[in-house]
Amino acid sequence: SCELLSLCFEGSFNVCPFGFSAEEEAVLESILRDRSHIEETLRLAADEKAGDYAGEDMNKRHCSPTLSLSLSLSLSLSQTDGEITSRPTVLFLGPWSVGKSSMVNYLLGLQDTPYQLYTGAEPTTSEFTVIMHGEKIRTVEGIVMAADSSRSFSPLEKFGQNFLEKLVGIEMPHKLLERVTFVDTPGIIENRKQQERGYPFNDVCQWFIDRADLIFVVFDPTKLDVGLELEMLFRQLKGRESQIRIILNKADSLATQDLMRVYGALFWSLAPLINVTEPPRVYVSSFWPYDYAPDTSHDLFKREEISLLEDLNQVIENRLENKIAFIRQHGIRVRIHALLVDRYVQTFKEKMSFFSDPELVFKEIVDDPDKFYIFKSILAKTNVSKFDLPNRDAYRDFFGINPVSSFKQLSAQCSYMGGCLLEKIERAITHELPSLLGSINSGKNPTLSSCEATGCGEKPKNRYRRN
């Protein structure tokens, strides 16, 4: 039986070229870990749905004005309606064969089932696999996921058909998937050029990184070296440090003294890549369904695993607060962009005369906006932080694509019945979204119109700040 297990430990049992006798199955069951702490920590036994009870109403009342103003300003929304109301996303990144797929199998209890993700000692996962909740177990092709507007993956079509062939979705009825969606990614192989993948791998990773609520970067003791592709990945993670969790997997494969050396080597390798004062949280354990190796730190690994599960549960519990904070953040960006474009248009009209050349006039404005107090006027007249202002050079490119003559001033976009889009966004940013967040935090059903009950001065939770 030991020889049998050694052949299958590196891969999934359903790919072993032989069956198991009753005695061998009994041996397998005896070495499986107890999963009760997973269900208890993630509250899988509780009969609660993860539906966004405020999601649709929030989307209609707060996202619609933002969307309308974004379209009128030729500003693309970074997330679709489906993405805004979707479940929290946990993204798995890291080198090949470090245990990413095995970890997903472990968390969902898929080992020894026909639905487990294929694992192995060799590079196995070549697709981006999205594991999500569904009424029945089925596989969804990438072209179907991108074509379905009700899903949150339609923007992925921009990466081409070659990528969609490498995208697969798995739907299954599972308590944990009612509350979260997992994304398993192809392992990083340093000797493979990006163009050999047939699609822009880094761009696709960036798309998922931008939408992930929690990012697990997984390593194992044998793959601590940092190559060009992994270095590029950490550059893409810049600004997302609060959402990154480093996992040193397969920790029970080393003696305690060797594990301490590997832990130090991991930090040594990652130090140049994570340029923040506070390092990300590192979890050290072995995330697969079988018992820890003998003569290793079982208690430490168990505590580390429970800490990671608590971290995951915290992200799930804060899903609404994070969505509201994101919508407010995006509303602030749209508002600043609208004010800047309006100021450019106003300055252009003021400087234009009957004999002026429009192109030369506007070129002077775009090349030196400080001469015309474009950005300073925004800071002086509105409650805008100078740290939120975009790069001045970005507007040279923006107006190169979108002629200034195609924009109307904000005052011309108001109507008697519909009001002004900018005023709606201002009201959502300063009153309605903080009120909604306050009512959620107080444990009440959110009411979008009452500032008296919850106070409009409530500040939304900063999703990028570590607790």
pLDDT in tens, 214-238: 999 999 888 787 778 888 888 888 8
pTM exceeding 0.85: no
Domain annotation covers residue 397: yes
Domain annotation covers residue 141: yes
122 burial type by CB count under 10 A (0-12 exposed, 13-18 middle, 19+ buried): exposed
Same domain, 220 and 340: no
225 burial type by CB count under 10 A (0-12 exposed, 13-18 middle, 19+ buried): exposed
Adjacent-strand bridge partners of 205: none
Indicate the range of 32-41, 197-206, 227-236, 454-463 predicted with least confidence: 454-463
- CATH code: domain of residue 255: 3.40.50.300
Indicate the range of 111-115, 119-123, 251-255, 273-277 predicted with least confidence: 119-123
pLDDT in tens, 143-153: 999 988 777 88
Domain annotation covers residue 124: yes
Which residue did the predictor score with more confidence, 79 or 344?
344
Range of the domain at 349: 330-440
Domain annotation covers residue 396: yes
Domain annotation covers residue 29: no
| H/E element, 315 | helix 298-317
Which residue did the predictor score with more confidence, 68 or 18?
68
Residue 13: predicted pLDDT? 37
DSSP letter for 78, please. Answer: S
- pLDDT mean over 37-65: 63
| The pLDDT of residue 462 is above 80 | no
Band the pLDDT of 251: cuts 50, 70, 90: very high
75-86 in b/e form (b: 16+ CB < 10 A) is bebebbbbbbbb
Q: Of 248, 276, 296, which one is at a domain's C-terminal end?
A: 296
The number of domains in the chain is 2
Distance CA 219, CA 223 (A): 6
Same domain, 281 and 367: no
Indicate the range of 23-27, 377-381, 453-457 predicted with least confidence: 453-457
Same domain, 204 and 259: yes
Band the pLDDT of 170: cuts 50, 70, 90: very high
Same domain, 247 and 352: no
Q: Which amino acid is at 400?
A: G
Same domain, 342 and 266: no
Same domain, 292 and 335: no
